[in-house]
Amino acid sequence: MTRIPAQGHLISLAKPDSSLVTTVIVIVAVLLLLFLLLRHVVRKRGGWRRFRRGVARELALTRRAFGEPLRAFRRHRRGVRALSRHLCDPRSGLLVRRLLDAAAAALGDVPGAFAYGLRTEPGWAAVQIAARGLPDPPAPWEVADGLGGQSWCLSLDDEESLPDAAPRAGARVRPLTVAVGMADDLCVHLDLAAGPRMITVEGDAATRFRLLQALAAQLDRPGSGASVTVADGVHPHYHGEPLDSVLRRLEDTPSPTTMEEAVASTITVVVCASPTRAQSRRLSALAAAGTVVCLADGPAAGHSWALRVSGRGRVTAPELDLYADSAPLVRAVAAAVRADRRRARRAPARQWPIESAVEPRTEPEQQAPETAGLPAKSELSELVEESRYPATAPARTVTGSDLLSEPATSRPLSAEASSTGGE
């Protein structure tokens, strides 16, 4: 009798597949070759330690390169917010001028010393001073650490910490300050009336054109104390008055005879493009006489402050110790101009004389006494009214804030939107 083995004790052994064995052998051989090649490369690089440091350095550079666009965008947004907060505050311009006057008063009798720049952040400010030998700062000023030996800093915790702002004797005009950009989260300001009063914007064509617009728009804001005239050739969509005509009119205008008149008078700012050598000499003579401050697009002959702008918006002036990022400035100035217009619209309208409501308009000479008490009009608003009422609106010059308006987004401005003097 034959016995049949139980089914649970049967074991099936699979034979190895030849293709699987071949694949494993090839993988092992490739890994061995890669290891030998890596070992050869590492030995040529100086060993495993140096190789690891090099790989870590390359990874860090790669991570930084891929993360730089995001960091630049965040830095740009932060700069726009900081500059917008500063420029939209109506008291910021007064604070900057008061700090510069206070630094000038603190310099006392230091020969040839003057304050020309300012860097601010909430609760702190540093004044840049040009002097051969800068003395120790008097209280409450302190030496600015990390900003060079030619700077004084001041804490602005409260209004009592502000020093006296009486300008020293011999000051011809009050400061004419503009924001230039951001540097290490600080708002950088420059006093255009402190130096030769000839400022040229050079470098990349597109970025210098935007910077020139932003500087002119700040000078055209209410309360700046400047009257801005844009000459022909500055803006492609506006044909201003020829520069020679502007120079002839300024040369025929009498200069202030006394120091009080010079300090109290409105500063005339001429914005021009690539003046010739003869025009540069005439502008330099007017600037030296204290008549005008010139902003030139492109280089100009003569003694001037040159602001060089790169394609990415970096502004440099080594002789002024100026290094800033001007890319956020255009959007911040546009926001400040819009804030000025909103404040002007919310302000109560001034009363017109009764005669203007019942008598029709006649000659400009008869209209002048009635409109003497009206708010000064922006030159762009008059340019807009000229297109609507060509028979009555006189042709005037476009100012800096108007050049920031884009044709696709610009709107007609009210008569109280902007002015070239104080409010």
Per-residue pLDDT tens digits for 311-351: 999 999 998 989 999 999 999 999 999 998 998 888 765 44
**What is the Cα–Cα distance from 47 to 381, expressed in whole angstroms?**
73
Going by pLDDT thresholds of 50, 70 and 90, the confidence category of residue 111 is confident
User: Are the C-beta atoms of 115 and 367 separated by less than 8 Å?
Assistant: no
Given a cut of 90, whether residue 307 has pLDDT beyond it is yes
User: What does pTM read for this prediction?
Assistant: 0.69
Q: Are 266 and 227 in contact (CB under 8 A)?
A: yes
pLDDT at 359: 35
Check the CA dihedral 8-10-11-17 and report its sign.
negative
**CA pair distance 285, 288, nearest whole angstrom:** 5
What is the rounded CA–CA span in Å between residue 112 and residue 405?
41
Whether 242 has a pLDDT exceeding 80, the answer reads yes
For residue 318, the 8-state DSSP code is G
Ranked by mean pLDDT, the top range of 92-106, 135-149, 404-418 is 92-106
Q: Which two tokens stand for residue 71?
A: 């960091």
> For residues 213 and 404, is the Cβ–Cβ distance under 8 A?
yes
Token output for 389: 């009422």
The confidence score (pLDDT) of residue 394 equals 34
Whether the upstream peptide bond of residue 140 has omega within 30° of 0, thus cis, is yes
| Coil/strand/helix, residue 290 | coil
Residues 6+ apart with CB under 8 A from 382: 393, 394, 396
pLDDT band with cut points at 50, 70 and 90 for residue 144: confident
Position 15 scores a pLDDT of 58
pLDDT tier at 157 (50, 70, 90 boundaries)? confident
